[in-house]
Amino acid sequence: MLTLFHYDRSTAAQRVRLGLEEKQIEWNSVVVDTALGDASQRPDDFHQYNPKGLIPLLKDGDFTIPESTLILEYLEDAFQNEIKLRPDDPKEIAQMRLWMRKIEDGIHVASRTIGVCIVNRHFYQNTDKKQLAEYYSKMRDGVRKSNDKINTEMGLESPLLLPSIKAFKHLFSDMNKHLQTHDWLAGESYSLADISLVVYLTRLGSFQMAPLWSEMTALNNWFDKIAARPAYQKAVIDWGDITAEKRRSEGNAAFEEVKKLWQQDS
C-alpha cells in the first residue's frame, strides 16, 4: 500500500490527499509536521528521499517521490482506474499543466510568505531558540530561509508581503475570468489543476481573507462545487488544521492591512 508523509494543514499535502481520495486509492498516513519549527519530527533518513526536507513525500513500495504536483501526475500514471483527473485531449492537458505551473512559478512561495507574516512568526517567536536554530540549519533552501527570516522579523511590514498578496490577486482574477466561460480550469473536466489550486482558497480563507475576492462569483462557485465533493471533506476538512484558531485570530487582526495591499495599484 502507498504511504504518504504529510501533515494536516499543508496545502501541498492537501492536494495530494485530494488526488488520493478522488481516485479512491488506499494509503497509509505518516505525519511529519516540522512546520512549527521542529526538525526532530522527520524520520532520520527523510532527507535521502527529499533533500529539501519537505512533505508531502509518497512511498510506493521501494519507489519514493516528493513534490506534490509530480506525485499527482504519478498517481494518474500508476493508478489508471476509471476515475481520471487528467483530460485526454492534449490541449486540455497543456492547459491543466499551465495552471499547475503557477504553483512553482511563485504562488507556493507567496503562500508561505503570507503564512509566516500573519501566523507562523508568532509560533517561531515562541519556539525554543535552540530548536529553531536546528530547524533552520536543516532547511536547505536558502531562499526559503532568507524569506522566513525577513518575514518573521517584519511580519506585516515585510517587503515580501505586497508582491505575495498581489500574486494571489492576479491568480484569483485570472481563474475567475477563465471560470466565467469554462466549468473547470482545464476546460470541461475536473482535473489535477482544480485540485492543485483550490487549496490556496482554503488557505487564504483560513486567514479570514475571503471577503477580498467576494465579488469573484465564478471563482467562488467553483470553490463551492469542489468543497461539496466527498473527497474534499475527507482530504481537507477531516484532516483539519491544528493551528485553525490562531490563523483565524491573527488573520482577523491582519485583515485591514492585507486589504490595503490587495487594493494597492501596481
Ligand X SMILES: N[C@@H](CCC(=O)N[C@@H](CS)C(=O)NCC(=O)O)C(=O)O
Q: Phi and psi dihedrals of 57, rounded to 5?
A: -135, 130
- In angstroms, the CA 196 to CA 69 distance is 7
Q: How far apart are alpha carbons 263 and 266 in whole angstroms?
A: 9
The region of 5-13, 87-95, 183-191, 224-232 touching ligand X under the rule CB under 6 A is 5-13
State in angstroms the smallest separation of the CB of 52 from ligand X.
Answer: 7
**Is the dihedral angle over the CA atoms 44, 46, 48, 52 positive or is it negative?**
negative
64 has which bridge partners? 59
230: three-class secondary structure by DSSP: helix
Helical (H) or strand (E) element with 6:
strand 2-6
Site membership for ligand X, residue 164 (CB under 6 A): no
Q: Does 11 bind ligand X (CB under 6 A)?
A: yes
Q: Which is nearer to ligand X, 68 or 208 (CB)?
A: 68
3-class secondary structure, 260: helix
Write out the three cell numbers for 22. 478522488
* Chain residues 33-72 in contact with ligand X, contact rule CB under 6 A: 34-35, 54-56, 67-69
Q: How far is the CB of 12 from ligand X (least distance, A)?
A: 4
**Distance of closest approach, residue 73 Cβ to ligand X, in angstroms:** 12
**Measured from the CB atom, is 55 or 226 closer to ligand X?**
55
Task: Give the residue with the Cβ less far from ligand X, 2 or 218.
Answer: 2
Residues touching ligand X, count (CB under 6 A) = 12
x/- map, 12-31, ligand X, by CB under 6 A: x-------------------
Stretch that binds ligand X, among 7-15, 161-169, 179-187, 257-265 (CB under 6 A): 7-15
The residue among 139 and 218 lying less far from ligand X, judged by its C-beta, is 139
Residues 103-162 that bind ligand X (CB under 6 A): 108
Between 34 and 176, whose beta carbon lies closer to ligand X? Answer: 34
253 Cβ neighbours under 8 A, 6+ residues apart = none
In whole angstroms, what is the distance from residue 28 CA to residue 45 CA? 18
State the Cα–Cα distance between residues 182 and 180, nearest whole angstrom. 6
Kindly state whether residue 194 participates in binding ligand X, applying the rule CB under 6 A: no
Closest approach of ligand X to the CB of residue 68, in Å: 4
Burial class (CB in 10 A: 0-12, 13-18, 19+), 12: buried
Considering only residues 95 to 114 of the shown chain, the ones binding ligand X according to CB under 6 A are 108
Q: In the bound complex, what is the minimum distance in angstroms from residue 103's beta carbon to ligand X?
A: 7
Single-letter amino acid code for the residue at 265: D
58 vs 216 by CB, closer to ligand X: 58
C-alpha cell at 225: 462545487
Binding site for ligand X (CB under 6 A): 10-12, 34-35, 54-56, 67-69, 108
